[in-house]
Structure 1
Amino acid sequence: MEWMDLRKNISIIGLLLTISFLLIACGDNDEVQNPVNNNQQGTENNTNNNGENDNVNETAESAYSFNSFNLEADIENTEDAIEVDYNKEMNETEASYEDRLQGIQLAGDEAMQELDSIFSGFDFDKDTANEDVLSSVLSAFNVPDDAINVELEIEFTDGTEKTYTQ
């Protein structure tokens, strides 16, 4: 009888540990709660319209020329010295920004706020020359000239996916 109680207690403890590990692993928290989008200005303009059409169209429309932006830059002796991830889908935006050289490690809304100030300055699209896109991005994120491996993946709003490397 004691053996059964001990076995039951061990099973319960094992189950609780498993659940705890799953919750911790899922706690990535890159999700942006207050995403930037093209409709923000329209929201401000619709505040005094006597209750008519107060709904803002929630689409996957992006405030930038892209829906996905992933940058990785390695510096000598530092892999992924700069890592930027931004993904906008229909109902969810995820953002993270890490720059080990400057001590920046942001996720979620904090990352989005910082990235918005950078992304808003970009004026490239899918047709812009690769060198110009890379130059603009490397300058905006202060990637050192001695970066040994730079990879930039962008999915533009029309679905075009491009990879830029240096």
Structure 2
Amino acid sequence: MGSFKFLLAALLLAGVLYGCNKDEVKNVPANAPTEQNTTQQVNENATELTEFNFLEFSLDVDYSATESYEIEFENKKSGIEAKLKDDRNNEKLQGDEAYTKLEPLFKQLTFDSTTPNDKVIEQVISVFGIADDFQSIEVEVEFADGTEKEFKQIK
């Protein structure tokens, strides 16, 4: 009985938290992959690529203790969430605004779960225009095939 109460409480809390989410993208393109249709596409035709080859993308670049560049992107069954925070350009975007800015950049990313760490970092630096004076960069990706990878570089 105690586990039933816990499960019920967890479901209620999840519903409340989902309702409070401001990062959700409202104007999702019709051809945007979701966790469900991406998995189906991968299973039906392994060579067919979706719009991006990942479901989740997280980028954290530290320039100093007070300056960073951060991106959070999730594409799940419940919808797409996107956030961008750029301390150097005093920019904070979320939801549709963030997705609109990030979509063309994500389309330029061609790495996959087998790409070496240094090549992924080079591509991310190039695509996102990361300045050379960064202290550390960390990229976390969940690929469309379910593989999760973390790529790091510390100067």
Cα shift readout 1:46-84 (whole Å, capped 9, x = no counterpart): xxxxxxxxxxx99443520000000111112425x1000
> Corresponding residue for 2:115?
128
In structure 2, distance between residues paired with 1:58 and 1:128? 22
**1:85/1:135 CA distance change after superposition, 3 Å:** same
When the two structures are superposed, what TM-score results if normalisation uses the length of structure 2? 0.71
Q: In the alignment, what sits opposite 1:47?
A: none
Q: Verify: 1:35 aligned to 2:28, yes or no.
A: yes
Is 1:164 aligned with 2:116? no
Matched, 1:118 2:125: no
One of 127, 133, 147 as aligned partner of 1:140:
127
Cα distance change on mapping 1:152 and 1:98 into 2, 3 Å: same
* Aligned length in residues: 125
TM-score (norm 1): 0.67
- Per the alignment, do residues 163 and 58 of structure 1 end up closer, same or farther by CA in structure 2, a change over 3 Å counting? closer
Secondary structure, in 3 states, of the residue corresponding to 1:106? strand
Report the more deviating stretch, 112-121 or 98-107: 98-107
Deviation of 1:37 after TM superposition, in Å, equals 5.5
Map 1:42-121 onto structure 2 (within 5 A): 59-61=36-38, 63-79=51-67, 81-121=68-108
| Structure 2 unaligned regions, length at least 5 | 1-15, 39-49
CA shift, 1:164, in A, is: 0.5
Question: Following the alignment from structure 1 to structure 2, what is the Cα–Cα distance between the partners of residues 99 and 111?
Answer: 11
Identify if the C-alpha distance between structure 1 residues 129 and 31 changes in structure 2 by more than 3 Å, giving closer, same or farther.
same
Residue of structure 2 equivalent to 1:150: 137
Report which of the two structures shows the higher radius of gyration computed on alpha carbons. Answer: 1
- The 3 A distance-change label for structure 1 pair 127 and 37 is farther
How far is 1:35 from its partner? Answer: 2.2
Q: Secondary structure, in 3 states, of the residue corresponding to 1:120?
A: helix
Amino-acid identity (%): 34
Aligned-residue RMSD, C-alpha: 2.4
Structure 2 CA distance for partners of 1:36 and 1:125, relative to 1, 3 Å: farther
Q: Distance in 2 between matches of 1:122 and 1:113?
A: 16
Q: Shift of residue 27 of structure 1?
A: 4.4
Aligned counterpart, 1:20: none
